[in-house]
Amino acid sequence: MTANPLLDATGVAKNYGAVAALRNASLSVLPGEVHALMGANGAGKSTLVKILTGAIRADAGRILIRGEARDVRSPAAARRAGLLPVYQEPSLIPDLDVLSNLRLTGTPVEPFRAWVRELGIPDLDIRDTARDIPLAVLRVLDLARALAVEPDVLLLDEMTAALPANLAEKVLEVVRRQGDSGRAVIFISHRFVEISALCDRATVLRDGETVGVVDIVPGVEEKIVELMLGARIVKTHVAARGASRNAATGRPRLGVRNLRVGTKLNDVSFDLADGEVAGVVALEGQGQDELFSALAGSIRPSGGTIEVDGQPVKFSHPIDAIRAGLAYVPGDRAEALAMQRSVRENIALPFSAALRNWGPINMRQERARVVSAIERLQIDTRAQGEVQRLSGGNQQKVTIARWIAADARTILCFDPTRGIDVGTKQEIYKLLRELAGHGKSVLFYTSELEEVQRVCDRVIVIFGGRVVDIFPVEETDEPALMRAAYGLPRGAKADVGILADPTANISDSTTPVAAP
Amino acid sequence: EGKYTIGISNTVQGNGWREEMVCAMKAQALASGEVTKLNIAHRNTDAAGQLEDIRNLISAKVNAIVVNPADPAGIKAGLEEATKAGIVVVAVDQAVTEPSAYIISNNQEQYAYLGAKWLFQQMGGKGEVFYMRGAAGASADSDRDKGFKKALAEFPDVKVAQEVFTGWQQDQAKQQMLSFLATGTPINGIWTSGIDNVIVDALVESQAPLVPIVGADNAGFVGQLSSVKDLVGAAVTNPGSIGGAGVTLALQILDGKKPAQQTVLVEPQLWENATEEGKAKLKAAADPSLSPEWPVSISIPDWTTYTKEQIVACKGPGE
Amino acid sequence: MADRPLIPLIILLVILVVILQVLRPGIVNERWIANTIKFAIPLAILAGCQTMTMLTGGIDLSVGTVATMSAFIMATQVVNQDPAVAFLLAMMPAVLIGLVNGIGVGVFRVHPLIMTLGTSLIGTGCLQVYQRTVIASGAKIPDFLAWLGTGVTYGFPNALLLFVPLAALIVFTLSRTGFGRLLYAVGDSERATRLSGVQYWQVITALYVISSVLAGVTGLLYIGLIKAPSLSLAEPLVLPSVAAAVIGGTSIFGGRGGYTGTIIGALILTVLTTLLTILQMPEGARRILFGLIVLFVTAAYLRIVEER
Amino acid sequence: MSRLLRRQGWVAGLFALLVILFIITKLIQPGYGSGDFGSLARAVLPYAFAVAAQTVVVIAGGIDLSVAAMMALTSVTAASMMNGASEEYALFVVPFVLAMGFVLGAVNGILIIVTRVPDIVVTLAMLFVLQGAALLVLDAPGGAVAEWLKGLISGTVPIPGLPDAIDAWLPKALLVLIICLCIIWIPLRRSKLGLSIYAIGSSELAAFRSGVPVARTRIIAYALSGLFAAFGGLALTMSTGIGAPIPGPYLLASVAAVVLGGVALGGGKGGLLGPIVAVFVLRLVRTDLTLLAIDPNVTAIIEGAIMVAVVMFGAFITMRGRQ
Ligand SMILES: Nc1ncnc2c1ncn2[C@@H]1O[C@H](COP(=O)(O)OP(=O)(O)OP(=O)(O)O)[C@@H](O)[C@H]1O
Ligand SMILES: Nc1ncnc2c1ncn2[C@@H]1O[C@H](COP(=O)(O)OP(=O)(O)OP(=O)(O)O)[C@@H](O)[C@H]1O
Ligand SMILES: O[C@@H]1[C@@H](O)[C@H](O)OC[C@H]1O
Ligand SMILES: [Mg+2]
Ligand SMILES: [Mg+2]
């Protein structure tokens, strides 16, 4: 493969406010190649695909298509340049039928139908409205729509994630043949089986940066994991846990029994004790969002029970959860904060929630509680008039301070260190441990595996909406957590072969994973 | 034992004059004994809405329609359709342009001319006048405008300081008067298209100088002309009971007694409080028992047969 | 923070008054000031309704109908009823319409603009049917309301006796009560308040009822001022009330603003109306200007917020 | 077939409601005939155009509060241009006024795109501007209309081959309505532009990713709304023979009929037929209440209540859908 690259991107960068989605990404794809794009959650894969296909504009970078510099300004322009994406989220217009969707994008109908059959859906009615079509089929239709225009470069973002095994297989077949016919495919997936079965090379992204390009040969998986995790892989425990570990004694503070939420969360059970920090480990979209939302009273579970101090509870509004002493700190600070209001008002917000507290505010008392919470979290209050003027880390602290001030017994922390500097992170770890030390309990989801070891007493691993493992934190290290998160059995230490084992439950057809 | 159904269409609601008109229609329909049912479409709307009302009345197969038109041109087509459907059409209070319709109304041009001329004389033939018109587009308003302009032409030194449409609504007129007073523009007289007592109130409450003012024979204003200190003004008659007359006319036509002309005009009179003679007339006409917005001329000789109790009760046949 | 635009607003007000004085020397005297304040008060109260609803990202276009209804019912009921009974009857539709608005917006999540327009349509219809039934009984303005609406004592309009405590109450509610905090927070981010345990429908329902009751009170004050009960009495104040709140610095998107700015906004509009009347600006041009101001101010606030 | 029924179920239900109302009408007034149906069609005309105007933008995921004001402005413009002018001059006036509606509608869209102020605020501001402009054109109802334009919506057209008994039930106003709407709507519905309008209303992000020029499509949707509103303004002038600068009740009526017609206020769903049938339903309710000699203000209450109930119901459905 010495041909000139079909697509060559270098130095691509993209910022969302303070978040750098991409810093310095590069990607070079040759004709006839199936090229894997790999990276942990949030590494910037989807962002790169969106930039390459004109769905968003890059802040910097150079993109060559067939050696020519092209400024792809819109999806339509990308299409003209022969680049066709299948994004991570379905792209059919929900309220139009399939035929209209084809007309909208100028896709020829007959080739499309042929591809749909080829991809294993023999009986599609193209008069069906997209909204009524199951997600897996929609993904296939997205692909067929792209294939129908015979693109030079096909970009597939977690195409197989939502597919049952039989459909996934067809997709892999078709993709392979695309490569054989001299076109190029960029293939994003978290499933190593697929990568090793399908791809020629892989580009690995970490924190928005291209950190390596490797040929896919047997045994390369370990190397890829290494690249994906970077220096973090060798981290050892640092957590200074002094607190009592009384998880086994008495009634659990929070009990979750066979909890189900739609199709996203199936049969989750675990306990959380007073004075304990339990870490939830999961890849993106394994149902952890739904779990936290259900515990926070934001969505209603479709089955199972939640018990607080041994009593079954039903939440129909977050206020119910709060009354039961469960406080939720969402991952997205914008979700938790009234950005135009002051630090004080944001921290005091739960005080006014109940009807009986709608009257005059005892300003002195409120002040005292707010100030003590601010001090406890060391929030930089130079810009306290409006929370939106605080730095990201300080905003994050405000979302936690609120529940410290309200003295919540159990805190549900969803990825609280996202986009936060090292120092602040340390403070938050310390705070969570302190809370546990005071007998509070914390359920802690983090996308950074390393934090699990620093903060948690126990690890709850969720994959495909199920708890696949629960174990004390001492029994693990980061690679093991990584494997666990990928749904690989514990104990199968560093045995790379297993990563390629098609019988592993990764492609279990009942597993709806990695939805947006 | 009546035999006719009469449809009524009116597009200004909440104006005392119009309410008296509707009550007169009801009372006269009852008193005549000839009407089984009134079908009253009485609401605030425009020509397009009135057109819809008239057409629905046609569909209801009424024998006659008595209409106070929102806009003569705007409802012409509807009136024509009514006549074609064999329905007797009588316009009251204001003229219509549909030739097949009968009209019975105050002489609106004369009404304005009488009042304006008296006012300009009171002003000594010069100065600024605040011209408070009725509803834009209504033919009574445009006819009155002709009369007003005719008088104005006779007094070259009288100028219109400002012209507003009150929509014949008390509250709007008062607000307009008050905001005009707030500008501090000096005026020497006020001509109103029958929205009068609230204007006097506005002057008194704002402690503004009382300038000569012309209004209609509404009970409240007639009372003010005798009671408010230093108020100089005149009431020009414009009976709301013309509605009853319209019903009578419609019944006459239905009974085969067509009038000689399509248009019947009632001649207005002017009662002023600048002379003893005028004061006597005002005193005789005053009727504090009526709502201040109701014209005191609650009946029209030869045209209405109901009693005062009947019009005040405001009940039609079958109510 | 809410009062940030106060200084430029006061400057604008003073400039307008100076222009007026230049155009009509001598116009600005004690009587003129009293009259201007008298007229700004009903507008300012209705604008208070808009301020509070706009803080939550809403709007209440039914205030005109509500004010008109309470005024009309008061004036007609007081003829045969005890004033206290008439007052209760007059406030009934206000509470009812506020409740329906609140439930529509808070529970069913209907856009406030559409919801309040709809209820005002129904309210106006009801009022017109009601008017038909009381035609014979006539109307009367209770002396107390007339005194409150039109009276002036030592150069101060009596209406201030109602307005000053009311305004103080609104300002206090917005800044020093849990409910006021919630209004801002809900308008800023409903999701955030929900996660803090706030029940949206409760806040919104209470808000629209309060707004409606304030509108009802305005109606009573206004009938004392205009003294002519009619079916559209307060209708002309509705859109200016929105404008007063917008000019006073309250964002139509919610979360930002305050009542003191609104009060100045109402004064500015009252003086501006006088000015436009003096300039003989035709009604059409006034409306165009009005629309452009609303659009311009909204776009400008949007820019300011985005810049941060 | 079943899909057709499912998709058109709401419209079918509305049709059934309309038929029931016609039967009720016939029961109340056995003499209700073709002429009365003609009256209904003429009453429907301006409302139908108003609702068409609203429908386009609602499908595109927006709302247009300036519909009634746009009708008032186009109506007074047409009436004042034709005042004292020749019959032929109207041949120029009609396209001019339609173009004016189209352009002013586009201005709505452009302002939404450029200022990024929400559509509801922009069209509210434009409501004042257009109203003001209408008052500047004519400060009182007035003007005139060419006779041939009036004739265009009165009476029936003899259609060769149709028996008179049927022909009598085809009022010109209805034909004008059908022709004007179909000329624009059917090709639009079939075109890529039409699809794009549905697409941006259904999911702006998906539409953008499907290559739809979102901003341009939004502007065109508002322009079409302006165009339909201009038709409505012309219809007003044609039926009354004058122009009136104060907007009629068409804004609320248009929103009510849109929702009653099965078009989700969230966008992307529904068609034009439902809202038009809804307009017939609402107008026929008024007729029936007049036939029953019920105070027309009760009609206003009923219309308002239907609207509030339907909007609440619609909001409720959308809310359920979102969950
Ligand atoms: N619209 C946005 N606004 C703010 N931040 C964003 C936005 N889109 C992406 N990001 C951030 O940019 C980073 C990269 O996101 P991206 O979706 O490209 O990751 P990814 O590699 O595709 O992850 P995954 O494997 O979970 O799909 C993440 O931190 C994400 O939170
Ligand atoms: N618009 C503003 N007005 C006032 N103070 C501000 C404003 N923006 C930032 N600050 C203050 O300046 C300091 C630095 O803020 P900045 O957002 O740059 O932090 P940062 O380095 O991004 O931190 P983090 O990693 O927590 O996001 C903070 O204390 C913040 O409160
Ligand atoms: O004088 C007016 C009358 O002639 C008009 O038609 O309706 C309202 C009255 O005030
Ligand atoms: Mg991704
Ligand atoms: Mg930062």
What number is the ipTM of this complex?
0.83
CB atoms under 10 Å from CB of A491, counted, come to 8
Q: Assess C21–B contact: CB distance below 8 Å, yes or no.
A: no
Q: Partners of A462 in the beta sheet?
A: A467
Query: In 10 A of CB C84, how many CB atoms?
Result: 8
| DSSP for residue A271 | E
> Residue A341: which of C177, C188, C202 has the nearest Cβ?
C188
Task: Name the residue ranges covered by the structural domains of chain A.
Answer: 7-82+151-229, 254-486
| Domain CATH for C57 | 1.10.3470
All residues at 6 or more sequence positions from A152 whose CB lies less than 8 Å from its CB, including other chains: A6, A66, A82, A83, A183, A184
Asked if the Cβ–Cβ distance from B179 to C226 is below 8 Å, we say no
Q: Report the run of H or E that residue C167 belongs to, with start and end.
A: helix C159-176
- Which ligand gives the minimal distance to the CA of A384? 2
- C10-68 pLDDT, tens digit per residue, is 998 999 999 999 998 888 888 889 989 999 999 999 999 999 999 999 999 999 999 99
The span from the CA of C86 to the CA of A71, in Å, is: 73
The closest alpha carbon to A496, from A205, A211, A192, A201, belongs to A192
User: Which helix (DSSP H) or strand (DSSP E) does residue A213 occupy?
Assistant: strand A209-215
Q: How large a percentage of chain D has pLDDT more than 70?
A: 97
Minimum distance, in Å, between the CA of residue D172 and any CA atom of chain C: 32
Is the pLDDT at C298 greater than 80, yes or no? no
Single-letter amino acid, residue D159: I
Task: Name the residue in chain B with its Cα closest to that of C139.
Answer: B291
Q: Cα–Cα distance between D101 and D70 in angstroms, integer?
A: 7
- Calculate the alpha carbon distances from B149 to B111, B125, B159, B191 in Å: 12, 14, 11, 12
Query: Partners for D (CB, 8 Å, 3+ pairs)?
Result: A, B, C
To the nearest whole angstrom, how far is the Cα of D306 from the nearest Cα of chain A? Answer: 27
Element (H, E) at A480: helix A478-485
B194 lines ligand 3 (CB under 6 A): yes
Min distance D211 CA to chain B CA atoms (Å):
45
| Rounded Cα distance, B205 and B184, in Å | 15
B104 contacts B241 by C-beta, under 8 angstroms: no
AA identity, residue D94: V
C42 and C222 in contact (C-beta within 8 Å)?
yes
Pocket of ligand 1 (CB under 6 A): A 16, 19, 21, 39, 41-47, 88, 284
Do D124 and C294 count as a contact with CB atoms less than 8 A apart?
Answer: yes
* Residues in chain C within 8 Å Cβ distance of D134: 284
Q: What gap in Å lies between CA C104 and CA C106, rounded to an integer? A: 6
Cα A130 from Cα A122, distance rounded (Å): 17
pLDDT in tens, chain A (516 residues): 457 899 999 999 999 876 788 999 999 999 999 999 998 777 889 999 999 999 999 999 999 999 888 888 888 899 889 999 999 888 899 999 999 999 999 999 999 999 999 999 998 999 999 988 888 899 999 999 999 999 999 999 988 877 877 888 899 999 999 888 889 999 998 778 888 889 999 999 988 999 999 999 988 888 888 888 775 444 334 444 544 444 445 678 999 999 999 888 988 999 999 999 999 998 877 889 999 999 999 999 999 999 999 999 999 999 999 999 999 999 888 889 999 899 999 999 999 999 999 999 999 999 999 999 999 888 887 778 889 888 778 888 999 999 999 999 999 999 888 767 767 788 888 899 999 999 999 999 987 777 888 899 999 999 888 898 898 888 877 777 877 777 766 654 433 333 333 333 333 333 333 333
Q: Dump strand ranges (E) for chain B.
A: 4-10, 35-42, 64-68, 88-92, 102-106, 126-133, 157-165, 189-192, 213-216, 233-236, 263-266, 270-272
Structure tokens given for A211? 């950190």
Q: Compute, in degrees rounded to 10, the torsion defined by CA atoms A343, A346, A347, A348.
A: 120
- Is residue D259, in this structure, part of any structural domain at all? no
In a domain, D243, yes or no: yes
In single-letter form, the type of residue at position C13 comes to: L
Q: Mutate which of A52, A74, A92, A104 to disrupt the D interface (most D C-beta within 10 Å)?
A: A104
Hey, whose CA ends up nearest to atom 2 of ligand 3?
B194
A172 lines ligand 2 (CB under 6 A): no
Residue B92, ligand 3, Cβ within 6 A: no
Structural domain boundaries enclosing C294? 5-307
Say yes or no: A139 contacts chain D, CB-CB below 8 A: no
Question: How do beta strands A277-281 and A209-215 pair?
Answer: unpaired
Classified as helix, coil or strand, A327 is strand
Q: Which two tokens stand for residue D157?
A: 């057209």
Residue A452: predicted pLDDT: 87
- Separation CA A301–CA A316 (nearest Å): 10
Contact B60 D300 (CB under 8 A): no
For residue B239, CA distances in Å to A367, A510, B102, B193, B273 come to 71, 86, 18, 13, 20
Find the CB nearest B182 among C139, C226, C274: C274
Put simply, the answer to whether D199 touches A104 (Cβ < 8 Å) is yes
Residue of D308, D230, D196 lying closest to D49 (CA atoms): D230
8 A C-beta contact, residue B211 and residue B129: no
Q: Which chains touch A (3+ CB pairs under 8 A)? A: C, D
3.20.20.70, 3.90.1150.10, 3.40.50.300, 3.40.1190.20: which CATH number matches A7-82+151-229?
3.40.50.300
Alpha helices, H only, A230-324: 288-295, 318-323
D152 part of a folded domain: yes
User: What's the token pair of residue C154?
Assistant: 């030592």
Structural domains counted in chain D: 1
| β pairing state of B64-68 and A277-281 | unpaired
**Does the beta carbon of B297 lie inside 6 Å of ligand 3?**
no
Q: Which domain holds residue D116?
A: 38-248
C-alpha span between D121 and D48 (Å, rounded): 24
Task: Give the number of other Cβ atoms within 10 Å of residue A515's Cβ.
Answer: 18
Q: How many domains does chain C have?
A: 1
* C-alpha atoms less than 13 angstroms from C-alpha of A412 in its C-beta half-sphere: 25
Structural domain contains residue D87? yes
Q: Which amino acid is at B214?
A: V
Mutual angle of helices C159-176 and C178-188, in 10-degree steps: 70
Residue-averaged pLDDT of chain D: 91
3-state secondary structure of C192: helix
| Distance between CA atoms of residues D60 and D216, nearest Å | 12
- Per run of 10 residues, the mean pLDDT along chain D (length 323 residues) is 66 93 95 93 97 97 95 98 95 97 98 91 92 94 94 86 84 94 93 95 92 95 98 96 93 87 86 95 93 87 83 76 57
Instruction: Tell me, in angstroms, the distance from the centre of ligand 5 to residue A104's CA.
Output: 41
Q: How high is the mean pLDDT in each 10-residue block of chain B (319 residues)?
A: 90 91 96 95 93 96 97 95 96 95 96 97 96 92 96 97 91 90 90 95 89 96 94 96 96 93 92 94 93 91 94 90
Cα dihedral angle (D39, D45, D51, D54), rounded to 10 degrees?
-160
Q: Is B19 in the C-facing interface, judged by CB distances under 8 Å?
A: yes
Mutation test residue for ligand 2: of A339, A346, A389, the one with most atoms within 8 Å of CB: A389
N-to-C CA span, chain A: 35
User: D111 vs C285: CB contact, 8 Å cut-off?
Assistant: no
pLDDT for A499? 37
Q: Are the C-beta atoms of residues A55 and A77 closer than 8 Å to each other?
A: no
How do beta strands A83-86 and A153-157 pair?
A: parallel
Nearest CA in chain C to D314: C110
Report the gap between the CA of D155 and the closest CA in chain C (Å). 33
d(CA D108, CA D106): 5
Residue A94 is given by DSSP the state: T
A313 vs D74: CA distance, rounded Å? 61
- Residue A398 CA, ligand 1 centroid: distance in Å: 23
Q: Which of A76, A92, A127 sits opposite D211 (nearest CB)?
A: A76
Count of other CB atoms within 10 angstroms of residue D118: 16
pLDDT surpasses 80 at C127: yes
CB B250 within 8 A of CB B219: no
Name residue A442's beta-bridge partners.
A277, A411
For the whole prediction, is pTM greater than 0.90? no
- pLDDT score at A510: 34
Looking at residue D120, its pLDDT comes to 83
Q: Please give the CATH topology (third level) of the domain spanning A254-486.
A: Rossmann fold (3.40.50)
Residue A126, both tokens: 């193209």
